[in-house]
Every structure is written in C-alpha cells, then in structure tokens.
Amino acid sequence: MLERRKPLDLLFPLKGGAESSVSAKKNPTPLDRLRAGVMLARDAVKAVSMTAMEALREGALMIGIIGEENELVDPFADLDAPIWSDKPPAELHRLAYKYCEELTKREAGNFYHSFKYLPDDQRQAMCAVYAFCRRADDIADGDWADRFPGAEGELSQESIEYREQLESLQQRTTILDNEVYLNKINQLFFFRKKLSTCYSGVYSTDPVFLALKDTVERYAIPRSVFDDLISGMEDDLYSNRYRTFDELYVYCYRVASVVGLMCIEIYGYDDPRARKFAESWGIFMQLTNVLRDVGEDIERDRVYLPLDELEHNGIGEEDLQGGKVVLNSSWEPYCHHYAKRARTYLEEARQLLPLLPRRTRYSPAAMIAFYDKILKQIEKQQGDVFTRRVGLSKVQKLSLAAAVYLRHRFLPRFLDPVWSGFARIGLLPNV
C-alpha cells in the first residue's frame, strides 16, 4: 500500500466546463473540409445486382452471424460490390442490426448493460452507433482489417491523394511504422467512404453502415459527429503526446464527446443545453480512461496526460515506465487534482439527465455511474494504476445498472432527496 500523502498545490489551473465546439464548426478549416469531402459516388463503384439482393432476402432467416467457432461473421461478406443502389428489404436491415447488437454484446459489456433496457428501436440504434465507433477504433488502434469490396486498396489514386493532402495540412509525419501507417490511413479513408453512404442515395453492403444509415435517418444524427470521430482516429496516427490540456481536450472531444452527441439524438431532447452537457459527459469519460490506462498507454509509447502538467509537477515520462511513478511523491497529489478536474465535467454530465425523456435517462446515467465508480477506485488506490488494472466486476456492473434503472424508471420523484442522501454517503450511485 502506498503511503498517503497530503495533496500538493499544482502549477496548472483546474479547468472544467464544455468548451462548446459549435463556434468552431461555423468556420471549418481546410482539414475539416478535406475530411468531410470524402464521398462514395454511385457511378464510381459496382452495385449488388437485384438477383443477389433477392437471393439474400430469401435466405435472410437462414443466414447466421455466428460461425462454427463462435466468431462473429459478416452476413454480407460474400458480396463483391460495396453498395446496394436500391434500398435493401427490411429482412436485411434486421440482419444488419442483429450483427451490430451481437458485436456490442461481445465488445462492450459496460456499454451494453447501460442500454439493453432501452426500447427496441433505440437499443438497436445505440448498437449501430457503438459498432461504428468500435470498428473505427479497431482500425486505428488494433489489427482489424476492414473490407471495402471493389476498392483498389492501397493503389487507389483517390486514397493516395487524400493521404498526401492530409499530411500536408497536418504538417507532421506519422508516428507509426510506414507500412502499418499506409494500411491504417487507407482503411480509414474507405471507412469515411462507407460513412458517406449514410448521407446519400446508396446503401453500404457493410452491415454496420447499413444499420447506421437507418439509424441516422430515423434520428437525424448529423454527419459531422461521425466525421469528427474518424478524425480522432486519424490523429492517433500522427500524435502520441499532448503538450497541453487544450490539445488533449480536442482529442477527447473527437473520440468521446461526439459519441455523447450521437447518443442524445437517439435518447431525445428539447433543451439545446443537452448538447453542452453531452460534450462534458464525453470529456469526463475520456479523462477517466486516460488516467486508468496510463500504464498500458506508456507501453505503447503513448502519453495522453498533458506533458506540461507532468513537468510542472516533477514527473517525467521515464517515471511512467514500469510503474516507477507510484514511488514519486508528486504522483498521488497529481492524480487527486486530475480527478478533481474530471469531476467538474462529471457535474455537467449529471445535468444532462433531467433534460432527457424518463424512458431513456437510465442509459447515460448507468454509463456515468460506471465511470464515476472507476474514478473513485483509482483515488482509493492512491493513483496506482500501474500494478493492477482498475475495472468493475460483473457484479458491480449489474448492481450499478440495476440501481440506476430502478431510480430512473420506477422511483417516484418525491423520493429523489432520499436517494440523493444515500448517494452522498456512498450507499447509492450519485446519478
């Protein structure tokens, strides 16, 4: 056990509150325009024939998404064309949603517990959004090999031109091995191509994007939030250090806040302040992730903690390696103040809940409760995120989800003060 130390005065100001990206979006940069300009033209690619569509429709009930070794199987993997030029039948949409839901169950226990009790349409939409985010992250940060039927792959002149313009506007080179980089940037380019089908008259033969297109049409989710998320994944190919909190904030917005902005369109809201609080919700969750994963990230040569803050507190990158930082007298106080700042965003995230319909409020409340618990555990371990991974057990996830569901779906409002009283002493989740 680490010796508990008194907090030190840090040399950086605590900062909280969503910075609101709305003003920035009014004047898109050349880089924004480049990314948003990636489109899949109907006449540039091969479409699935009507015969193939009818064959799939007839066999939809027989097509499985689980393989013989219990692996997830793309039900449209055998199609040799990237689009349906006509709207696929309902059976194929249902199959696409089923694929996304199974992917979510397998890859996101925390998140699935937080929205499995939503009404069917909203649960399926959340799974489609999660599947999109998961696949983008798997390309950028994993070994997922995305497919784009009919594409020329690395030899695509359009992909090469996009990459060259991106590099020129970024004004920096990749931090990855060149072969790995070329593969990932190429895949993310075609991932944007598939995203464009959600906002055009064609339909992707990727089940994730077929389900996502239906979702964005039902709930009017703007393309910008999806484009921003892919931009965050591209940023990971060029940056593995962040000098200031402002730089980290932009990254957190792109990889997390935009997810909150996607979700609230599905949950439903009338008050425009919901967008500001959804942005803070994402910042809180990502800041918690950054602190929890410091040890794992440094092993991958990534430091997401702002370097100027570390330096001001006498913490060097070498201290993060091998968990040596747990012996540094500044580390626990730094974590204490870092958590304090994260909680300023948590307070705003909680303000989102009353702005959402009661039937959907449970979902973000559960996610907030999960991450609040993780942050509390980090503080309880005195910032030791190196010798053991901080996480929630299945029992903790289920009990938190059940408690939050009970409060937001069944508990009468006049009992809210009672709940809040128990929450203040740690007996119930404070959401």
Do both 313 and 352 map to the same domain? yes
Per-residue model confidence as pLDDT tens digits over 13-39: 456 677 655 444 557 889 889 998 999
Do both 292 and 201 map to the same domain? no
The amino acid present at 421, given as its one-letter code, is: G
As a whole number, the mean pLDDT across the chain is 87
Do both 137 and 262 map to the same domain? no
Do both 106 and 152 map to the same domain? yes
Do both 186 and 288 map to the same domain? no
Query: Residue 413 has what pLDDT?
Result: 78
Backbone angles phi, psi at 120, to 5 degrees: -50, -50
- Decide if 21 is inside a domain: no
What is the pTM (predicted TM-score) of this model? 0.90
In sequence order, which residues have a C-beta less than 8 Å from that of residue 299 and are 6 or more positions away? none
Do both 282 and 134 map to the same domain? no
Per-residue model confidence as pLDDT tens digits over 135-194: 999 999 888 888 776 555 555 788 899 999 999 998 888 999 999 999 999 999 999 999
- Decide if 380 is inside a domain: yes
Q: Which two tokens stand for residue 11?
A: 């040399």
CB 187 within 8 A of CB 139: yes
Query: Residue 21 has what pLDDT?
Result: 56
Query: Residue 243 has what pLDDT?
Result: 94
- Decide if 137 is inside a domain: yes
Residue 79: give the domain boundaries: 49-218
264 Cα distance to chain centroid: 14
Per-residue model confidence as pLDDT tens digits over 313-329: 988 888 888 767 776 78
- Decide if 18 is inside a domain: no
Do both 396 and 286 map to the same domain? yes
Q: Which two tokens stand for residue 284?
A: 């809180």
Do both 208 and 244 map to the same domain? no
Do both 204 and 280 map to the same domain? no
214-218 long-range Cβ contacts below 8 angstroms, 24+ apart: 214/93, 214/96, 214/97, 214/128, 215/124, 215/125, 215/128, 215/129, 215/266, 218/121, 218/125
Residue 264 sits in a domain whose CATH number is 1.10.600.10
- Decide if 213 is inside a domain: yes
Domain count, the chain: 2
Do both 287 and 395 map to the same domain? yes
181 Cα distance to chain centroid: 21
- Decide if 111 is inside a domain: yes
- Decide if 407 is inside a domain: yes
Do both 164 and 299 map to the same domain? no
Of 241, 255, 377, residue with least CA distance to 310: 241
Mind giving me the DSSP string for 13-28?
A: ----S---SHHHHTS-
Helix (H), strand (E) at residue 83: strand 83-84
- Averaged pLDDT, groups of 10, the chain, 431 residues long: 40 58 63 90 83 84 85 89 90 95 87 85 96 95 79 69 91 91 93 95 95 98 97 94 95 96 97 96 97 91 94 87 76 93 96 94 92 94 87 84 83 77 78 83
Query: Residue 302 has what pLDDT?
Result: 93
